[in-house]
Structure 1
Amino acid sequence: MTTRLTLNHWQDWLLPGNPDDTRLLHADGCDRIYVCPPHLGRGYIQEIPLQDDLSLFIVDYALTNDLVIDVPGESPHIEFEFLLAGPETGYSLFVPNFGFKQLEVKRSQRRFFKVEVIFKPPTLTDYFQAYLEQLSPQAQSVAERVIQAMYRYQRSGSLSTPVKMLSRVMQGGMASEPYTTFGHVVSDTLHAESVVFNYANRTPISPTMNQVIGQILSCPYQGTTRRIYLERQALKLVSLRLEAMVQPCLTEADLNSIYQAASILRNQLSNPPSIEALARRVCTNRLKLNQGFREVYDTTPYGYLRDCRLWQAQRLLTISDLAIADIAASVGYTNRSHFALAFRQWTGINPKTFQLQAWQWAS
């Protein structure tokens, strides 16, 4: 069973809680506590304000039904998430929020347990820039073009550097229209290339990060001492996360072969070459191609192709009025049922429901 909610604010599906809740690992009177309604599940979200532009979240809940939330465009912020239970357990995600409207799908029967460090303006820009500097040159180039596209969508003209444009974008946010999504702002080609961030934003949690997370969860202090301690630990955790963004250990020639192969797959979604043919086209062999994709994208060439297909399908479901079967065919699925299953496994929602919700935004 799936429950669908349309909200004015992200926390509207939750109930106000109390810092005295015995489920909390530690709390203070200034914390904001939200609890899961009994008819939806159990658990809590704890927001610990550290500075005006910095907050720490401890999230621990499980749902009884799948939950699909129509989320409004939020104020711009970036999140460093550290996932301790649930999907992507053992990984840290970098999640930029530019204020786009989106569907958020929360799956049932899983415990969601994570620590989040959230930055808002003005500090946000410094940490966003630090993240960009850790990306590969290829991903940096895509990121700069995405920032330029968002800046130009907001206003005419341009600024001298991507950092200045980023600062302006994050000050104003992108939710100038109620249905604005990422797919509305960027071109077809740039949207396809931006799939790189689905991989670049994901990093394993290291033992050192785990140690700092443990110190955050077991904080023994109260009052001002607690806030200072948690702020220091949160910033240390983010620094460790940025340092962990290491580049693939490949030669320049091998790396260029992988980038070229990825470009071929992105541009031939409906008629991709075989692995052997793809390897020949980029002057390598099947083994090195598979190993290279693992190094760069943490998946296989076919896994990358599937992600590109579904990434493009999600955009078409959002911005076009094409039939589901036509969208499936355009991204390489000859069987609509196979497409629906793959999309549901990838997003947690079937394509028709996703499309209807997107149409509702634009109406």
Structure 2
Amino acid sequence: MVSKLVLAHGKDWLLPGDTSDLQLLHSDCSDQLLVCPPHLGRGYFQEILLKDDLALVILDYTLNQDVWVDLLNESSFLEFEFQLVGPGAGYSFFIPHFGLKEFGVKRLQRRLFKIEVVFKQPLLVTYFQAFMERLSPQTRYIAERVIQTIYLHLHQRERLILTTSEMLNRIVQSKDAVDSHLTLERILPESLYSETIAFKYVNRNPITSVMQQVIGQILSCPYQGEIRRAYLERKALKLVSLQLEMLIQRRLNESKLNYICQAASILRNQITHPPAVEALAKQVGTNRLKLNQGFHKLYGTTPFGYLQDCRLWQARRLLMTSNLSIGEVSGAVGYTSCSRFATAFRKKMGINPKSFQIQTY
């Protein structure tokens, strides 16, 4: 069974809870506590407001059925996420939201336990810029083009010459009503959308032992009241600074493994007829072993795994924006077997491609 949730905000599916709930590791009467509806599962969402533009969120829940989420974010916000249990356990993520429609599946019987540090304006732009400054020049260029495309779509009548920072400010401060069908997949041209797969890997970095120590301090906070708020604010910002430091190390790795970035670019642009691993290695001036080692170091997967991610990334866009059949989408992204495509898509997205197309097109 799959339940469908149509939401204006990501937490609208939850019910009010009580901060005296024994599930909580610690709490204060000023916290906002929401709990999972019993018919969907069990667990909680605890939001600790640290400042007007900064919050710490602790989530711990398990669902008893798959849940399809159709989410219209009515405002912009930025998440630095640290997954402790779940599909991304052991990794930290940088997740920007620009008030666009989003889709996804919350999976049956998968416990999700994570910490989020959430920024709104004005800190949102400050930390988004800090993130961009730590990207490699190539990835930063893609990010700037994405921001420019979103800005031009939301402000079509304006003819101002703005910096990337100014465009970002205009996006997050926009008071215009957002089209209920407006998604990143519909806004970005195909060539740019294919490049955004780079963010899937840049945004995902291992949780280090130092991060684990800070997370432990957050989860075992012994204080109450204003002292608790100040303590958690320091720890939350420390976590974010540690995550940003990881980007600097990643940029150094990318500069040392430039041939791996070249190989990844080749795969992104040749998803229908990619070169074999041996040919790809030769094309970028290395051998099969070093190619596989480099992909694992930068992307945490094999060249084939990276190629499959690129194919499914493009398939997601085609299913949302075109009237192609499932077989046509499968062929358009390089699969010779429709059943293998459907299996790979469901494993990655949590839903079969036809159902996804019906829900999103």
TM range, normalised to the smaller chain?
A: over 0.9
CA distance in 2, matches of 1:8, 1:98: 13
Q: Is the 8 A contact 1:249 1:295 kept in 2?
A: no
User: Could you tell me which residue of structure 2 aligns to residue 178 of structure 1?
Assistant: 180
Q: Look up the match of 1:347.
A: 349
- Which one of the candidate residues 301, 304, 329 is aligned to 2:303? 301
* 2:104–2:349 contact (8 Å) kept in structure 1: no
8 Å CA contact retained: 2:134, 2:251: no
Give the distance between the partners of 2:178 and 2:340, measured in 1 at CA.
36
Give the structure 2 partner of residue 247 of structure 1: 250
Distance 1:289 1:330 in 2: 26
Of 152, 165, 168, which residue of structure 1 is paired with 2:167?
Answer: 165
Give RMSD over aligned pairs. 1.6
Aligned partner of 1:286 in structure 2 is 288
**Residue type at the aligned position of 2:10:** W
1:8 and 1:142, CA in 2 relative to 1: closer, same or farther beyond 3 A? closer
Q: Does 1:274 align with 2:286?
A: no
C-alpha contact 2:10 2:73 (8 A) present in aligned 1: no
Whichever residue aligns with residue 247 of structure 1, its letter is R
Matches of 2:175 and 2:328, distance apart in 1: 33
CA distance in 2, matches of 1:225, 1:266: 49
- Note closer, same or farther for the CA distance 1:173–1:191 as it changes in structure 2 (3 Å cut): farther
Q: For residue 80 of structure 2, give the secondary structure of its aligned residue in structure 1.
A: strand
- 1:210 is aligned to 212
- Overall identity of the aligned pairs, in %: 55
For 1:307, the aligned partner's letter is D
Q: Which residue of 2 aligns with 1:133?
A: 133
> Retained in 2: the 8 A contact 1:261–1:282?
yes
Unaligned 5+ runs, structure 2: none
Paired letter, 1:195: I
Match of 1:262 among 261, 264, 271: 264
Q: Which residue of 1 aligns with 2:328?
A: 326
TM-superposition CA deviations, 1:294-338 (whole Å, max 9, x none) = 232222111110000000000111111111110011001121111
Query: What is the CA-CA distance between 1:211 and the residue it aligns to?
Result: 0.9
With 103-112 and 57-66 compared, the bigger mean Cα shift is at: 103-112
2:25 paired residue number:
25
Q: Is the 8 A contact 1:152 1:158 kept in 2?
A: no
Q: TM-score, normalised by structure 1?
A: 0.95
Aligned mates of 2:147, 2:133 — CA distance in 1: 14
Amino acid paired to 2:221: C
CA contact (8 A) 1:195 1:308 kept: yes
1:346 counterpart SS class: helix
Deviations 1:138-188 (A, max 9, x none): 211111111111111112334442111112112228972000010111111
For the 8 Å contact 2:79–2:94, the answer to whether it is kept is: yes
Name the residue aligned to 1:106: 106
Retained in 1: the 8 A contact 2:101–2:183?
yes
Confirm or deny: 8 A CA contact 1:269 1:309 kept in the other structure: yes
CA distance in 2, matches of 1:302, 1:247: 21
Structure 1 residue 120: Cα displacement: 0.4
Which residue pairs with 1:193 in the alignment?
195
User: Is 1:146 aligned to 2:146, yes or no?
Assistant: yes
Deviates more, 1:220-229 or 1:290-299: 290-299
1:260 deviates by: 2.4
Distance 2:262 2:171 in 1: 31
Once structures 1 and 2 are overlaid, which stretch shifts more, 350-359 or 190-199? 350-359
Greater Cα shift, 215-224 or 152-161 = 152-161
